Amino acid sequence: MDAGDRPARLAVGVLGAGKVGSALGAALAQAGHRVVAASGVSDASQRWAAERLGVVPSPPDEVVAAGELILLTVPDDTLPDLVAGLAQAGVDLRGKLLVHTSGAYGLSVLDPAARAGALPLALHPVMTFTGRDDDLNRITGCSFGVTAPDPLRPIAEALVIEMGGEPVWIADADRALYHAALAGAANHMVTLIAESSELLRRIGVEHPGRMLGPLLGAALDNVLRLGISGLTGPVVRGDAGTVRRHVDALILAAPEAADAYVALARLTADRALAAGLLKPEEAERLLDALGGNIWT
């Protein structure tokens, strides 16, 4: 991006200097903007404000007053009350870029502030942040779900590019489905792998990660390159007997995991059938093995 295409250097305030806020604030600072104020409730947030952003934590109204671009990096359930509180408190929001990083919310959550003159943007980094030192590096090359009013779209996309990310436009009405897709892939994957690791430990596998790592790496590579055509395993082979034995074993060892296995196996069979990878008669046998009286 040419220098002339970049937004003017901005004074940045961070409301919620936690894992995400401190990482994005640091990325904006690295791009040449100035972090001038930040707020943080937890001890970790206050430490990150000092160490990553170089500022002493301030009350939210002071952060907004000091900044031209305000990052709202707080938990999703806190965001509506924070925005409403800023508007009701009479904080001067006129002309300020108000940027939330929630995946699930679009622009409507910023309406109270927009009515008070703020310029609303939604920039969601498609990345997991852990609070470790490598958080800033993780931003480079990661996608951001971008939603903004049309006149502000160039600014939103330029900010993402400056931070090292890739802007991907998400329509306001699609934000919830967009975030559900991301959470289903990333968060539920963690749960599934943790559950599988625990089951392997129960039967004496000392290092489940070593066993699962190559398999999961190959599976992830397959699906990212090939989509559902990269599917392997007993469902796509139509091995109904094997699938039923899996369910029976899980009912005895981990009933709560059996529910998830059945639901995912049914979804897998449905997708494989639709893609022509599974014959209808094979799908019928699989669904018989997964349905009806499997709990008896």
For the chain, what percent of residues have pLDDT higher than 90? 89
77-99: average pLDDT: 95
- Determine the pLDDT at residue 131: 86
Chosen domain end from 148, 170, 192: 170
User: For the chain, what is the domain count?
Assistant: 2
**Cβ-contact 53, 26 below 8 angstroms:** yes
Task: Let me know if residue 64 belongs to a domain.
Answer: yes
- Residue-by-residue DSSP string for 61-102: HHHHHH-SEEEE-S-GGGHHHHHHHHHHTT---TT-EEEE--
First-last CA distance in the chain: 63
| Tens digit of each residue's pLDDT (9 = 90 or more) over 137-146 | 999 999 999 9
Q: Which residue did the predictor score with more confidence, 132 or 23?
A: 23
How would residue 7 be classed by pLDDT, with cut points 50, 70 and 90? Answer: low
> Are residues 181 and 166 part of one domain?
no
For the chain, what percent of residues have pLDDT higher than 70? 96
- Determine the pLDDT at residue 105: 96
Please enumerate, as own/partner, the contacts of 264-270 that have beta carbons within 8 Å and a separation of 24 or more.
265/235, 265/290, 266/290, 266/291, 268/231, 268/235, 268/236, 269/235
Task: Let me know if residue 272 belongs to a domain.
Answer: yes
> Are residues 117 and 100 part of one domain?
yes
Total-model pTM: 0.87
Rg of the chain (C-alpha set): 24
126-135: average pLDDT: 89
Task: Let me know if residue 136 belongs to a domain.
Answer: yes
| Tens digit of each residue's pLDDT (9 = 90 or more) over 241-269 | 999 999 999 999 999 999 999 999 999 99
Chain position carrying tokens 């940045």 = 12
Q: Which one-letter amino acid corresponds to residue 113?
A: A
112-123: average pLDDT: 97
| Average pLDDT value over all residues in the chain | 93
For the chain, count helices (H), then strands (E). 13, 7
> Are residues 266 and 144 part of one domain?
no
How would residue 175 be classed by pLDDT, with cut points 50, 70 and 90? Answer: very high
> Are residues 228 and 155 part of one domain?
no
> Are residues 242 and 107 part of one domain?
no
76-105: average pLDDT: 95
Longest dimension (CA), the chain: 70
CA 78 from centroid of its chain's CA atoms: 17
46-59: average pLDDT: 92
Distance CA(37)–CA(35), nearest Å, equals 6
Chosen domain end from 149, 170, 191: 170
**Cβ-contact 119, 96 below 8 angstroms:** yes
How would residue 2 be classed by pLDDT, with cut points 50, 70 and 90? Answer: very low
Distance CA(147)–CA(110), nearest Å, equals 12
SS3 12: strand
- Determine the pLDDT at residue 41: 85
Chosen domain end from 120, 153, 170: 170
Alpha-carbon dihedral of residues 255, 257, 263, 269, nearest 10 degrees? -110
Distance CA(133)–CA(122), nearest Å, equals 25
- Determine the pLDDT at residue 295: 34
pLDDT above 60: residue 45:
yes
CATH of the domain at 33: 3.40.50.720
Task: Let me know if residue 270 belongs to a domain.
Answer: yes
